Structure 1
Amino acid sequence: MQEELPRRAFITSTAIGIAAIAGCTQSDSEGTNSDNSAPADDNETTTSEEPSVPEDANITLSVPTAADLDGLQSPLMAFFDAENFTVEPAGEPTDGAGHFHVMVDTSQVEPGETIPNDDQHLHFGDGAEHTVLDLEPGEHELTLQMGDGEHTALPLVDTQTVTVEERAAVSLDAPQDGDVVSTDETITFKPVVDNFVIEQAGELTQNAGHHHLLVNTDPVSTGTVIPSDDQHIHFGNGTEMPEIDASELGAGEYELIIQIANGVHEAYPLTTDPITITIEE
């Protein structure tokens, strides 16, 4: 039975970069790593005395299945929850508090050791409670583990096995690379989306999101909130064929990309190939 995603609408300020989606690092194949203050040496672990953890504390990792699709498609969202434990940004360790980490296809870290910072150990030192994961099709083991303010592993762990059926993809039928249009025309974009649902902004729904038009700029890193400005045009109404008046751009040559983001505008690694069009008076 498919499970609907809980209706949650919180925005996390994740700044995720590749090898670095919410400051952070983002792996093309593994997902979001949102902590600037993780251990400098990715391969070094140290042992220290971790802060105390309440006996009734518990954490949960959930990866709901989309109601409109058959199975999980990548990229996907994972959600974190803590009971009787405070989630706070990295910094000075505090008893009964810490932040989340996700291990992708690797085991949990021994409590008291420093959690590494690499493609398989994703840090959420900003206090984020969800992330975008970009996984290859197949079975993956995801382990959620709490760490203290200095990334010392705590004995709060939850492990889930997920099976990714397909990878989502987006391409562009129109306009075509090299097209020339006049300023009095309306440009209609015709994205072709596979294994993904286009819907209105506002809700966090698994394997669903809405279109954005990027003008003369690079795609936004996975998990990072897409800005709203002249170079990042949002179509949060859920239209499947975005339109824009050429006069809004003005005469000139433009490189255009369509990128999909989730309901709170966090970027997915779903982008069309860039095209260049010319707008003439």
Structure 2
Amino acid sequence: MKKFLFAPAVLLIGLISCNSGTGNESSSSDSTSSQNDTTTMQADSSHTAMNTTTMDALPAVPAGAKVYFKNLKDGQTVSSPLKVEMGATNISVDSAGTIKQNSGHFHIIIDDGDSTASGVVVRKDSTHLHFGNAQKEATVTLSPGKHRLALQFADGIHRSYGSKLSEAITLNVKK
């Protein structure tokens, strides 16, 4: 009985912590982009309540799927604020809220590792930025110096696909 109650309790704690952010970590500065591709981080409505008595399995990663930074390269020197363009191949970028096969959404992890473990809900805080409205670009402010950015893909309820769908790079932010 204790084991049966433990999993829903852990999931509930993860969802609560995932929804503790203000939802306005970044904003887009490119007015020519479509609304679907911008990061007007309104209250991220994708952190929805779910039935904790049932849990769908993490969808399989499609063959050949990958995520990548479209406009940034490892070791690049950049200015802040920084425009980040996110890309995905062989998997659809979709809004969070429901679990759909062959789809998910982006997260950017700043200076906190190269990925979140597979199946773990990606935290939502100042170093774990969520793009649950299917955004494909963001403007991120970084202090001068060296920073590690990880692009992490997750399913509709923010469970990470792990290192299979992540890319990490190091950037040098000039003063």
Counterpart of 1:75? Answer: 81
Q: How much has 1:52 moved relative to structure 2?
A: 1.3
* SS of aligned partner of 2:174: strand
Q: Shift in Å at residue 23 of structure 1?
A: 2.4
1:138 and 1:57 map into 2 onto residues whose CA distance is 32
In structure 2, what is the equivalent of residue 156 of structure 1? Answer: 165
Q: Which has the larger radius of gyration?
A: 1
Q: How does 1:130-279 map to 2 (within 5 A)?
A: 130-154=137-161, 155-166=164-175
Tell me, yes or no, if the aligned pair for 1:77 and 1:132 is still in contact at 8 Å. yes
The structure 1 residue matched to 2:102, chosen from 93, 96, 100, is 96
Residues 13 and 22, structure 1, Cα contact 8 Å, conserved in 2:
no
Gaps of 5+ in 2: 1-31, 50-54
* Match of residue 12 from structure 1: 35
**Residue matched to 1:126:** 133
Shift in Å, 1:62: 3.6
Tell me the percent identity.
30
Compute the displacement of 1:12 (Å): 3.3
Displaced runs of 4 or more, over 4 A: 13-16
Q: Are residue 22 (structure 1) and residue 22 (structure 2) matched?
A: no
**Relative to structure 1, is the Cα distance of residues 135 and 151 closer, same or farther in structure 2, using a 3 angstrom cutoff?**
same
Task: Using the TM superposition, give the Cα deviation of residue 38 of structure 1 relative to its aligned residue in structure 2, in angstroms.
Answer: 3.4
Structure with greater helix share of residues: 2
Residues 102 and 55 of structure 1: is their aligned pair in 2 closer, same or farther, counting only changes over 3 Å?
A: same
Matches of 1:139 and 1:39, distance apart in 2? 35
Query: Is the 2:107–2:152 Cα contact (8 Å) retained in structure 1?
Result: yes
Is 1:54 matched with 2:54? no
**d(CA) in 1 for partners of 2:48 and 2:149?**
21
Aligned residues: 133
Could you tell me how far apart the structure 1 residues matched to 2:72 and 2:118 are? 28
CA–CA separation in structure 1 for the residues paired with 2:121 and 2:56: 8
Q: TM-score w.r.t. structure 1 length?
A: 0.43
Q: TM-score, normalised by structure 2?
A: 0.68
Letter aligned with residue 151 of structure 2: L
- Whichever structure has more strand as a proportion of its residues is 1
**Equivalent of residue 46 in structure 2, options 37, 41, 46:** 37
**Change in 2 beyond 3 A, CA 1:138/1:62:** farther
Q: 1: distance between equivalents of 2:48 and 2:172?
A: 30
Q: Which runs of 5+ in 1 are unaligned?
A: 1-8, 25-34, 41-46, 66-70, 167-281
Alpha-carbon offset, residue 14 of structure 1: 8.0
Q: Distance in 2 between matches of 1:92 and 1:148?
A: 8
User: 2:37·2:137 contact (CA, 8 Å) conserved in 1?
Assistant: no
